[in-house]
Amino acid sequence: MSTETDVDGGDTGDSLTLALAQLHVDAGEVEANVERALAAVSRAADRGADLVALPELFNVGYFAFDLYARNAEPFGGETFTRLREAAADHGIAVLAGSIVEDLAATESVETPAADGFSNTAALFDADGERRLVYRKHHLFGYESAESELLVPGETLETATIGGMTVGVTTCYDLRFPELYRRLVDAGAELILVPSAWPYPRIEHWQTLSRARAIENQAYVATINGSGEFEEATLLGRSSVYDPWGVPLASSGDEATLITTEIDPRTVVDVRDEFPALRDRRR
């Protein structure tokens, strides 16, 4: 049985309050997992957060590969609809970490030029409006069936939330720094990374996340899950790194809610003080 605690990362001034919901995820227990997500949205709103982010495949569980097809939903399906409504009800922006999206069943503007299933995240603003869709670009093949079961995304979007330009990548994407450069070139100041990162690769998880913050002089927030699967155990350790790579808030491996303040002025100040991005040679 999981328990949840709350962790505060401190206040850096007049800024955006970010919450990371490190949820306990039970394989295939979609209703229970979604209820935990909705409760986390409510709790984050009660704590004054402007934006709350959820982990990768929080509803079905990343390592529940045999349940992907059975639990796939169109973009406008029940999971995203409930979280979109929760965002509007609580007046808080929500990154719905990701779900298995049934591309063939998705209709309207979100439909990509492909069938099959996708690892899809959506960002809803505090009015419940869709602001960003991200389909995971790099699909994991090492001891994982993800690359066999899903198709990769092709588009990369940013959105403005609380005065900050926000981008999204997912888990394994952390190993591909060129993706983050593209987001920074598009103006990203905060990059959210919903994940299902397992033991034992703790050093990779922490080092790659911190490196992406340092080299792009941007906030990077990694949102991991908690829980055990037959094939793996999620290591938690969700964290927020500032543009210097300094951790502002972090967790252990149990379910928790992290909140911290982030300031878009810090991104500007760091890039002005140490103009590494301007020194790039293309």
Three-state SS for the chain is CCCCEEEECCCCCCCEEEEEEECECCCCCHHHHHHHHHHHHHHHHHCCCCEEECCCCCCCCCCCHHHHHHHCECCCCHHHHHHHHHHHHHCCEEEEEEEEEEHHHCCHHHCCCCCCEEEEEEEECCCCCEEEEEECCCCCCCCCCHHHHCCCCCCCCEEEECCEEEEECCHHHHHCHHHHHHHHHCCCCEEEEECCCECCCHHHHHHHHHHHHHHHCCEEEEECCEEECCCCEEECCCEEECCCCCEEEECCCCCEEEEEEECHHHHHHHHHHCCCHHHCCC
Q: What are phi and psi of 3, to 5 degrees?
A: -125, 160
For residue 47, which amino acid is it? R
Residues known to be catalytic: 56, 136, 171
For residue 130, which amino acid is it? R
